[in-house]
């Protein structure tokens, strides 16, 4: 057994699936990555939700929770905003799609609508990396 397969097996053993979801999880495990991606899109459309929304909302709520506490503390959570797409929109669209799971049309619409927030509630390291990549692609970026 390869080391990668062994690590995968160890991770699967650590996840305890409740009995009521066991058969569903077993069916999902049999699916290919492409089938899973299609399933996610279908569920998003059917229920009018985004797979990313809970993460973005939870992370965006974090800065406001401690806003009054320790005004002298360094900011650790940022919103990455593209203020100008620059001359090479295609490169900027590609850079956005590296960090945010969205379709090509959505990424293009976001770039065309600049100034626009690309991602909310990200930590300092991720925000800095996003800013660097987007600026290398030709965009003007602001961290808020």
Task: Answer yes or no: are the C-beta atoms of 127 and 75 closer than 8 Å.
Answer: no
Here the tokens at position 88 are 């090479």
Q: Give the pLDDT means over successive 10-residue stretches in the chain (144 positions).
A: 50 72 86 82 78 48 48 75 87 86 86 85 86 88 86
Task: Answer yes or no: are the C-beta atoms of 126 and 84 closer than 8 Å.
Answer: no
**Domain contains 31:** no
* Cα(106)–Cα(123) distance, integer angstroms: 23
CATH number of the domain at 108, please.
3.30.1390.10
User: What pLDDT, on a 0 to 100 scale, did the predictor assign at position 54?
Assistant: 46
Task: Indicate the number of domains in the chain.
Answer: 1
**Domain contains 12:** no
**Domain contains 132:** yes
User: What pLDDT, on a 0 to 100 scale, did the predictor assign at position 70?
Assistant: 47
Q: Which residue range forms the structural domain that includes residue 89?
A: 76-143
Q: What is the CA angle 33-37-133, rounded to 5? A: 95
**Domain contains 138:** yes
**Domain contains 94:** yes
């Amino acid at each position: 057994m390869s080391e990668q397969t062994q690590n995968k097996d160890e991770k699967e053993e650590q996840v305890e699936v409740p009995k009521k979801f066991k058969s569903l999880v077993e069916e999902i495990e049999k699916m290919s990555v492409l089938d899973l991606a299609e399933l996610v899109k279908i569920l998003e459309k059917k229920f009018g939700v985004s797979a990313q929304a809970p993460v973005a909302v939870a992370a965006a709520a974090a800065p406001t929770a401690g806003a009054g506490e320790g005004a002298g503390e360094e900011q650790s959570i940022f919103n990455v905003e593209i203020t100008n797409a620059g001359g090479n929109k295609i490169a900027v669209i590609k850079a956005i799609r590296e960090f945010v799971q969205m379709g090509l049309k959505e990424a293009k619409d976001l770039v065309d609508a600049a100034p626009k927030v690309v991602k909310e509630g990200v930590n300092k390291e991720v925000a800095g990396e996003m800013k660097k990549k987007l600026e290398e692609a030709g965009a003007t970026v602001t961290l808020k």
